[in-house]
Amino acid sequence: MERPAWAPPGIDISVPSVSRIYDYYLGGSHNFEVDREAARKAMQFLPGLPKIMQANRAFMRRAVHYAVGEGVTQFLDIGSGIPTFGNVHEVAQKAEPEARVVYVDHDPVAVAHSQAVLDGNERAGIVQADLRKPAEILGSAEAGRLLDLEQPVALLLVAVLHFLEDADDPMRSVAELRDALAPGSLLVVTHASYEGIPLPKEQAGGAVGVYRDIRNPLVMRSREEIARFLDGFELVDPGLVSMPDWRPDAPAEEDPFAFSGFAGVGRKA
């Protein structure tokens, strides 16, 4: 197996990773053959996966613009993945040069690549940590350096909560993070769901099976279950909706797959 020069030492390139599979769907180059193979397998069941990921990124960018427009210029992006064009710090710092961003991911490839991309950017940093351990994220040196928790923060949990099983108690992680944030903070969420996928559940379930096989279970939740992550936040209009329907820049002829799953933004009172 060819080992790319950019692969950080110590990485097992024979094991697929969710963030590298996502990078592949978005047309990125920081993925290994094992990631591409898993992605292609999942796409046999759910050919619209790249469209879903693109809609997810487009929503994230609109939500970052919204946050800056509301005067929120600190961002905590957990499960940030591999930085590709139009990432949070680029969007936020273009709109507000003073904006500060802390990325968090547990994948060493995502962390190493983020370090390279952020080199020389004093207002952005990356932490290797896991959403299941909010105290480690909030207590990290980069969070201490870049975030003032007395002021509003935009917390991004974009395409990450569906990788936590109920046994991981993701509600507790979100509540712990929420309680650490100042009033006026925003929670930006996207989550996978069978609702909205233009395919029979049985077929879409095949793609879910691929993630389970690579030991990264993808947990499909209902709109009602996803809404519970926003408990303690006031939903910003238009509420919890499909990704293209959240404050679109222009009426778009979107691919039907783009409407899979849900997106929403909540404000802490």
Q: Which residues pair with residue 189 across a beta bridge?
A: 157, 264
Rounded to an integer, what distance in angstroms lies between the CA atom of residue 254 and that of residue 55? Answer: 9
116, 18, 50, 86 alpha-carbon torsion, rounded to 10°: -30
Rounded to an integer, what distance in angstroms lies between the CA atom of residue 106 and that of residue 128? Answer: 5
pLDDT at 55 (0 to 100): 95
Please indicate, yes or no, if residue 28 is contained in any of the structural domains: no
Do 156 and 92 form a contact (C-beta atoms < 8 A)? no
pLDDT at 58 (0 to 100): 95
Please return the burial class of 181, using the count of CB atoms within 10 Å of its CB with bins 0-12, 13-18 and 19+.
buried
Give the closest residue to 188 by CA, choosing from 128, 150, 235.
235
* For residue 160, pLDDT beyond 70: yes
Contacts of 122 (CB under 8 A, 6+ apart): none
Mean pLDDT over 152-164 rounds to 98
Rounded to an integer, what distance in angstroms lies between the CA atom of residue 197 and that of residue 204? Answer: 8
Q: Residues of 48-70 as b/e, b for ≥16 C-beta within 10 angstroms?
A: bbbbbbbbbbbbbbbbbbbbbee
Please indicate, yes or no, if residue 18 is contained in any of the structural domains: no
What pTM was computed for the model? 0.95
Q: Tokens at residue 5, please?
A: 């020069």
* For residue 262, pLDDT beyond 70: yes
pLDDT at 12 (0 to 100): 85
Task: Work out the percent of the chain whose per-residue pLDDT is above 90.
Answer: 88
Q: Tokens at residue 139, please?
A: 């207590």
pLDDT at 146 (0 to 100): 98
Please indicate, yes or no, if residue 208 is contained in any of the structural domains: no
- H-helix or E-strand spanning residue 189: strand 186-191
Please indicate, yes or no, if residue 29 is contained in any of the structural domains: no
Please return the burial class of 269, using the count of CB atoms within 10 Å of its CB with bins 0-12, 13-18 and 19+.
exposed
Report the CATH number at residue 140.
3.40.50.150
Residue 6's pLDDT band, with cuts at 50, 70 and 90, is confident
Residue 30 vs residue 36, higher pLDDT = 36
Task: Work out the percent of the chain whose per-residue pLDDT is above 70.
Answer: 99
- H-helix or E-strand spanning residue 235: strand 233-235
pLDDT at 5 (0 to 100): 81
Task: Count structural domains, the chain.
Answer: 1
Query: Please, which contacts does 213-218 make with residues 24 or more away whose CB atoms are closer than 8 Å?
Result: 214/15, 214/16, 214/38, 216/16, 216/17, 216/18, 216/163, 217/163, 217/165, 218/162, 218/163, 218/192
pLDDT at 161 (0 to 100): 98
Per-residue pLDDT tens over the stretch 55-114: 999 999 999 999 999 999 999 999 999 988 789 999 999 999 999 999 999 998 899 889
Mean pLDDT over 252-259 rounds to 87
* For residue 151, pLDDT beyond 70: yes
pLDDT at 131 (0 to 100): 98
Looking at every residue in the chain, the average pLDDT score rounds to: 95
* For residue 1, pLDDT beyond 70: no
Give the closest residue to 185 by CA, choosing from 96, 63, 101, 74.
74
Mean pLDDT over 194-203 rounds to 96
pLDDT at 109 (0 to 100): 86
Q: Tokens at residue 115, please?
A: 């370090």
**Which domain range does residue 239 map to?**
55-198+225-268
Please indicate, yes or no, if residue 239 is contained in any of the structural domains: yes
* For residue 252, pLDDT beyond 80: no
pLDDT at 220 (0 to 100): 98
Helix axes of 49-69 and 18-25: crossing angle, nearest 10 degrees: 90
**Terminal-residue alpha carbon distance, the chain:** 52
Please indicate, yes or no, if residue 206 is contained in any of the structural domains: no
Please indicate, yes or no, if residue 104 is contained in any of the structural domains: yes
